[in-house]
Structure 1
């Protein structure tokens, strides 16, 4: 049974954040708000939890294109190969923001992603996911929660999300109504930035 926890972006409760971090450390799955759509996430260091998310998504874990939610750009060097100053400036101009940036991965990627040469990095413009990462102590692996209903590509109401995902996740973080436009995805691994998916936000390249 998924537990629905209320968390306010203006003043997120330390008690609730500690509970979320504990659930993640123990291999739990959470659904949480971002600056775009609600996301499904787990601790990047828990292979069991990563496998659960891949199974829910119906993909092979080693081939999955999950993004890493980071607190800020200081997390970059953990999983991203060295980038040039222009790329770093572009990231700094646009993050936190509703963007996923594809960057070259390094050798510190979790063992299940070792064969992947790239990594998607997110620093959402929403305090809740960044605080969750801060309390956990490392990034969370994330994917957006798609809706099977073609008319409602993304569910925005946390109570409806909790009902639907009740048996699949441990916690649903209610941070208010979510958006229904996903993040803009930009590939920064080539000489020129490439738009992979147009979503929320106007990118400043």
Structure 2
């Protein structure tokens, strides 16, 4: 049974954040709000949890394209190689509704070692950034898609909790989510390449 935990974005309760972090540290799966759609995530250092997410998404873990949610740009070099030009682009646009594809660094967790690139997100949402900060590691994340052809993403946390009840441990109710995913910008080959136009403005690249 997934526990539905209400957390307010304006001022996330440290007590509730700590409760969710405990679940993440124990290998639990959590659905949480971002500045775009709701995401499904786990602690990047927990291989069993990563396998569970890959299984839910029907992909092989080593071939998965999950994003890494980080709180800010300070520890990014642990996961991605960034030159000055790319750092300026990231600094200018994050936090925000973008996923940036960057070359992976040599110190990626072993399960991602073969990945040449990684997707990095710093959402403009206090809840998920507080989670990552309290956890001390990035959260590996994937958007929760819907089978509904009209609405690709479920926006109501109570409906999400109903639907994902047996698959995850916690659903954070951070209010209604968006139904437009992040824009995906590839910075791994030099000049920015737009892979998906989503919520973030892509005309600036």
Q: Normalising by structure 2, what TM-score?
A: 0.98
1:1-205 → structure 2 map (5 Å cutoff): 1-81=1-81, 83-203=82-202, 204-205=204-205
SS at match of 2:195: strand
How far 1:158 moved relative to its partner? 0.1
> For the residues of structure 1 that align with 2:183 and 2:190, how far apart are their CA atoms?
19
> For the residues of structure 2 that align with 1:51 and 1:71, how far apart are their CA atoms?
23
SS at match of 2:74: helix
How far 1:132 moved relative to its partner? 0.2
> For the residues of structure 1 that align with 2:147 and 2:109, how far apart are their CA atoms?
30
SS at match of 1:73: coil
CA offset digits 1:146-205 (Å, max 9, x no partner): 001111200000000000000000000000000000000000011211000000021433
> For the residues of structure 2 that align with 1:104 and 1:190, how far apart are their CA atoms?
8
SS at match of 2:161: helix
Q: Give RMSD over aligned pairs.
A: 0.7
Extract structure 1 runs of 4+ deviating beyond 4 A.
none
Which structure 1 residue ranges, 5 or more long, are not aligned? none
> For the residues of structure 2 that align with 1:27 and 1:193, how far apart are their CA atoms?
35
How far 1:49 moved relative to its partner? 0.2
How far 1:75 moved relative to its partner? 2.2
Moved more, 189-198 or 41-50: 189-198
Instruction: Report the count of equivalent residues.
Output: 204
CA offset digits 1:114-160 (Å, max 9, x no partner): 11110000000111100000010110000000001111200000000
Which structure 2 residue ranges, 5 or more long, are not aligned? none
CA offset digits 1:14-70 (Å, max 9, x no partner): 110111111000000000000000000000000000000000000000000000000
Q: Normalising by structure 1, what TM-score?
A: 0.98
> For the residues of structure 1 that align with 2:102 and 2:190, how far apart are their CA atoms?
12
